[in-house]
Structure 1
Amino acid sequence: MSGTLVGAQNRSTGNIDRITPRPEDPTTLRMPSSEQSELLATPCVTCREHHLKCDRSVPRCGRCVRAGRECKLGFKFKPSKGSFTRDQRWLKPPRTLIYIDETRGLSNGNATDDISQYDIPVDETHASDQRSSSSSATPPVSAHPPQHDDARNRPPVIVQGQPLPRDNGVFENERISASEVHIRREALEAKSTEPYDMRVRSTTYIPPPRNPLADNFPNIPNLPLKSRTEAVLFRHYIQKLAICLDLCDPLRHFELVVPERAGECHTLLNAIFAIAARHLSHTTDFDPLASNRYHDECLKYLIPMLNHASTVSDENMFAATIILRMLEEMDVPTTGQDNYSHLLGIHAFVNVGDQYMVPGSLSAASFWVGLRQEIYIAVITQQPVKLSLDHYVVDRSFEPTDDYTWSNRAIVLLADVLNFCFGGNPSTPSHWTALDEATLRWSTTRPPSFNPFFYRERTSSPAFPEVWHGSSCHVIGIQHHILAQLFLIQFDPSIPKVGTNRRAAVKQMTHRIEILVRELCGIGVCNQWTPPAMFTACMGIAMFGDQFGERSDQEALLDILKRTEAEHARPTAAIQQQLLRAWGWVPDDDE
């Protein structure tokens, strides 16, 4: 029987014990030769790091072969017994040595992870002692007793060449000598293992004055805020503006994730400052120029980066562009026009592809906000939606799912309707019928949670019914569904173009449009706790408000437009002027 005899070498006798025949295998380890005996004196580094017993086989030990790990040979160093000559040359160590603590890295199985560096000042008087005794640096010991909390138990990272800091942030002027390090280490090694040890030691430690907030807020400050004003802007974004972006997002990325990411992404942080400052300048007496400074800082980094593939796949930059687009919509009264600059940036991020738009991610949340922003422009300008809708996150089905997905389905359906109404391709009756059936099916299959918890029909005095909802996703879902119905009614191909039946068909169409617009505005007025409810109502007024002939109804519609601009910084002045001319309140040539 051909094979190889493999066994374990007895340390004391050098004999081979437990000889077992094994079949011939290319991975079978040979017995070491006499020249390799020195290498077997210590276990391999890999087994030592994993706290395993090594069989000391070469070139790879048996444990490393079976585990598929890299086997690093260990070496045993023997001290020299000879004496040094007088002309022996010694290296001069620097006055500051760096001690690298690999204990935590070794415990995790990686000697390079979580390595902290410490300054070890070396007194020149001890230099000769260290040259003759050892080349290893002595581990540093903190002057303060360690806390039981894991976060405080980690030694601080100190920049090389700088003095050691105290707990209160004031640096020591004096350096710690090597002898003091040894004394303090011995004192700490003798500490009690009992928690909250209150026994008095020979060396009494008096802690420095502590900040009473240090225990509750150990990471102050967490954001690179330069002033209280920036803190006010940051808070205003979270409390007042994020809700306008998280309408159909159960994870509330723009309220919870974006502020956290802003601590590391300065472009995102400046976008938050810019939108908050612009909103405050439109609704209060806040400095109107503050927003421009933060906006310019964003553009300084964002515009050059849009030409790089790595940038357009960065969801933080995507979210920043969404926020800046919201600011751009507010700037229309100031600039007099909408340049759609950031809307083009949104297109660049969306066109990257599905690989970066994972459901539940910040990129997916940004996509849905960008689609709603695109729909707003498409409605106001009466153009098709230019944002690509061929993405995995887009759902046009009617299968049971959560309410947020149902709302997004209504938004996609409205986008499809707008593309039908304002697209370049000629519309066909079959296409209109398919969209009309889709709106009917959405209404009949949606969850009952979309029903308002309070509804009251309009009477003679109020122009709109009372419609109370409890969730922003229900508000936006129903409103976008109403808008889709309105456009389909307006572009109904079954209405005669000419003939005796046209008058009756147009009258019926106008009556249906008035009912839906009243309901759309009633939802906006009764749910102002979510500002986009008013924005969406203004879209319906802009498109179909001219069909209201009663003065009281016209005044009620104007009131919604004025309140939206005054309280939510949304431009409606141009819409107001168009309606005043359509109603005959002002002459057509009056500027």
Structure 2
Amino acid sequence: MTLEIPKLATTSPILLQAVVSYAASHIQDRSTAEEAHERCVRMLIVELSSAEIANDTAVLCAIVILRVFEQLNVAETGTDAEHHLSGSSALLSKSQGYTIDPASPGLREAAFWIYVRQCLYNACVFQQPPNIDLHHELSPIPHSWDGPSRLRSETAWANNITWICVTVVHFCFGKDSNEPSARMLKWQELSTLLESWRNTRPDTFDPIWQSAEPTDSCPFPEIRFIADWHLMAFGFYSLCCMLLLIYKPAPRFAIRRVQRRMSQTDTAVIGHARALCGACWYAPDTVPSSITLCHTAFIWGPLMIDRTEQEGVIKILERMEQRDKWPTAWIVASLKEEWSIT
């Protein structure tokens, strides 16, 4: 996608303006970014009347890039209008049809999976169901391939855990009125699906190195992966584990007692959080995984009570805004308030 977008932008005015708006925003040239954004939106409105828009790869990519532009311009409060996220669901779903091949390497498919990850971001931050049509079916089911097809296999496994994460997030944050027994059955189904992915995925997804002990320079365990998509898959797997632990159907109090001891569930959740923090600490160039860390912080943040670890999380987030221009100041402010850091 990185190589194809610039080439495609030379023949698509809509995509070109979307790229300019993103690039200008990234270097904080606000006037150029806003002008390109407005031109792109005007052209996009005209294209929306076309019956073939769902098959226009350049337009689909432009919509996804416009969504990233929105995320880069989130206010300090974290308020996100989601203009292009809310308007993209039907269009990007239609571009895939009912059945989605998780191994497909096409640009249109890449745009769809980026959109899916964008949905997960807001779903976790605001604890709401993701704006995704769950009626899609992934086919064929990923399996291990060798030789030239190995990369397609790994693409399928990475996209598969992303889709599992969508179903888990929808289960946890959706407004499902099913009776407790039905929800418990669904929880067990998702737990089995998640562990099946964990037990059958290629061993290339395992960390190439891990150390359980923190070091003087990092308060989290050191975890390293071979490829970016392995780390991204690890992030979504960790998110699924945390959510299924927290949202397992069971009687619970509406308010948690302040200063109570960590429960067994809390300890398991924070274990996954520490591992994700460690993996992101040692892979600052894998920006999508750091973005996953950003929105998962709203799941596990209150459970991280060690001050050194809290400062480590803040360091990761501040580094991300400084290096990658991803807005994290509002997340840092929220965490500092939660942790009583002045």
Instruction: Tell me if TM exceeds 0.5.
Output: yes
Bigger Cα displacement from structure 2, 527-536 vs 350-359: 350-359
Letter in 2 for 1:413: I
Cα distance in 2, alignment partners of residues 336 and 450 from structure 1: 33
Indicate which of 29, 47, 72 corresponds to 1:305.
47
Distance 1:437-1:396 versus aligned 2 partners, 3 A rule: farther
Give the secondary structure class of the aligned counterpart of 1:385: coil
Match of 1:275 in 2: 22
Which of 533, 546, 562 matches 2:302? Answer: 546
Describe the superposition over 1:427-466 as per-residue Cα deviations: whole angstroms up to 9, x where unpaired: 5111111111111111111110011222122236432111
CA contact (8 A) 1:272 1:323 kept: yes
Instruction: Deviation per CA, 1:310-369: give whole Å up to 9, x if none.
Output: 223311100011111111100113796311111133213224254597743322111111
Asked if 1:434 corresponds to 2:185, the answer is no
Which residue matches 2:113? Answer: 368
Given residue 127 of structure 2, which amino acid in structure 1 is its aligned partner?
A: Q
CA deviations 1:13-72 (Å, max 9, x no partner) are: xxxxxxxxxxxxxxxxxxxxxxxxxxxxxxxxxxxxxxxxxxxxxxxxxxxxxxxxxxxx
1:337 to 71, 79, 83: 79
Q: Normalising by the residue count of structure 1, what TM-score does the alignment of the two structures yield?
A: 0.51
Which amino acid letter does the alignment assign opposite residue 452 of structure 1?
P
- Which of 1 and 2 has greater Rg? 1
Instruction: Compare the two structures and name the one with the higher helix fraction.
Output: 2
- The correspondence for 1:389, drawn from 122, 130, 134, is 134
The unaligned stretches of length 5 or more in structure 1 are: 1-253, 282-286, 587-591
TM-fit CA distance, 1:505: 9.8
Q: Is the 8 A contact 1:496 1:505 kept in 2?
A: no
State the Cα distance separating 1:571 from its structure 2 match.
1.9
After TM superposition, give the deviation of residue 504 of structure 1 in Å: 10
Measured at CA, do residues 355 and 423 of structure 1 come closer, stay the same or move farther in structure 2, by a change above 3 Å?
closer
User: Which amino acid counterpart does residue 435 of structure 1 have in structure 2?
Assistant: L
Aligned length: 323
Corresponding position: 1:291 with 2:33: yes
Q: Retained in 1: the 8 A contact 2:204–2:226?
A: no
Change (3 A) 1:505 1:552: closer
TM-fit CA distance, 1:546: 1.1
Secondary structure at 2:87 match in 1:
helix
- Mean Cα deviation higher: 318-327 or 339-348: 339-348
Contact 2:222–2:279, Cα closer than 8 Å, also in 1: yes
2 CA distance for matches of 1:507 and 1:490? 11
Asked if 2 retains the 8 angstrom alpha-carbon contact of 1:382 and 1:422, the reply is: yes
Distance across 1 between alignment mates of 2:307 and 2:163? 35
Q: Is the CA contact (8 Å cut-off) linking 1:275 and 1:323 kept in structure 2? A: yes
Residue of structure 1 in register with 2:70 after alignment: 328
Residues 372-429 of structure 1 deviation map (CA, whole Å, 9 limit, x = unaligned) = 111111111111112113335x359464351111111110111100110011113511
Please give the TM-score of this superposition, normalised by the length of structure 2: 0.87
1:478: which partner in 2? 234
What is the root-mean-square deviation of aligned Cα atoms in Å? 2.5
Identify if the C-alpha distance between structure 1 residues 396 and 337 changes in structure 2 by more than 3 Å, giving closer, same or farther.
farther
Report the counterpart of residue 279 of structure 2 in structure 1: 523
Alignment equivalent of 2:122, drawn from 367, 371, 377: 377
SS of equivalent residue, structure 2 residue 223: strand
Q: Percent identity?
A: 28
CA distance in 2, matches of 1:369, 1:299: 20
Give the 3-state SS of the residue equivalent to 1:255 in structure 2: coil
> Are residues 334 and 424 of structure 1, via their aligned partners in 2, closer, same or farther at CA, if it must alter by over 3 Å?
closer
Alpha carbons of 1:396 and 1:387: their partners in 2 closer, same or farther (altered >3 Å)?
Answer: farther
Structure 2 counterpart SS, 1:309: coil
Give the AA of the match of 2:54: V
Q: Please, which of 156, 164, 188 is the counterpart of residue 405 of structure 1?
A: 156
Gaps of 5+ in 2: 146-152
Separation (CA, whole Å) in 2 of partners of 1:520 and 1:539: 12
Q: Give the 3-state SS of the residue equivalent to 2:157 in structure 1.
A: helix
Q: SS of 2:11's equivalent?
A: coil
Query: Deviations for 1:277-336, whole angstroms, at most 9, x for unmatched residues?
Result: 11111xxxxx33111121121112012322332223311100011111111100113796
Matching residue's letter, 2:62: A
| Residues 495 and 506, structure 1, Cα contact 8 Å, conserved in 2 | no
User: Matches of 1:491 and 1:310 in 2, distance apart?
Assistant: 41
With over 3 angstroms needed to count, the CA separation of the structure-2 counterparts of 1:466 and 1:565, relative to structure 1, is same
Asked if 1 retains the 8 angstrom alpha-carbon contact of 2:220 and 2:274, the reply is yes
Contact 1:384 1:423 in 2 (8 A): yes
- Give, in whole Å, the separation in 1 of the partners of 2:175 and 2:227: 36
Q: Bigger relative contact order, structure 1 or 2, given CA contacts below 8 A and separation 6+?
A: 2
* Match status 1:511 vs 2:267: yes
Residue identity opposite 2:111 in structure 1: S
Query: 1:268·1:319 contact (CA, 8 Å) conserved in 2?
Result: yes
Q: Deviations along 1:497-523, whole A, 9 cap, x unmatched?
A: 59xxxx999611111111100111111
Shift, 1:528, TM fit: 1.4
Rounded to whole Å, the distance in 2 between the matches of 1:328 and 1:339 is 8
Report SS of the residue matched to 2:45. helix
